[in-house]
Structure 1
Amino acid sequence: MVDRIPSKSLQTITTFLTYLEAANRNRETPPQFWTQLQNFLQELQPVEDSQPRLASFIKNWCSQHEITLDDNAYPEIRASVIGNQQQNQPDNPNLAQLPEGDKPILTANKALITRQVEEALDKNANES
């Protein structure tokens, strides 16, 4: 089976999570980024839990904070983020029945985004 091409919304979310992981690994990430990220969580709460709405929110938030999302940046980190998205699929007995070589469709929802941001904030707080 050919892998499905992710939607633009999913690409935006994945690129944001990749940027977040890259910032998490970079000791020189400005402290104000982490403060802004705490606000991100609060602002995310009322957003509808649909990929198009989440992607739109992320684009607007990044634009406000002068963050440029690049789909081609950090390819190794992006592969890790995509793997994490696959591992965090909802429990679905049908996934176990997929033929070998078929990959589940990636999902990204508010819970996944929130968890990734909280983990990044916790890691940064522990390293500060």
Structure 2
Amino acid sequence: MATSSGNSSGTITTATTAVLTTGLEDGDFVRSMNQRKRRMESNRESARRSRMRKQMHLNELAVTKAQLTSKNDRLASGIFVASRQLATIEAENSILRAQLMELSQRLDSLNDIL
């Protein structure tokens, strides 16, 4: 009977060890799954932040584009106005040169008379 109780004790001990080992493995598995879940959640959060940064950057670029487009339109308008003024001034300058030539000729004629 001692042998059988020894065997049964040995079996219980082996079974207990198996349960404890399995319990540790299950605990390790649970910890591993928890770590994996935390990592996945962390990765999701990181991806979400990355998408938010990208969207913010795109919004900033859109604002910058609108500002530059507006500035470009103002500059183009200014160039157009300046070009029209230049044309007007060049026309006036041509008229004044013609008047200068005419007045110079008159002066020369008057000087010749005197």
Q: Shorter-chain TM-score category?
A: under 0.3
Larger Cα-atom Rg: 2
Normalization by structure 1: what TM-score?
Answer: 0.17
Of Structure 1 and Structure 2, which has the larger fraction of its residues in helix? 2
Structure-2-length-normalised TM-score: 0.19
Instruction: Name the structure, 1 or 2, with higher relative contact order (CA <8 Å, separation 6+).
Output: 1
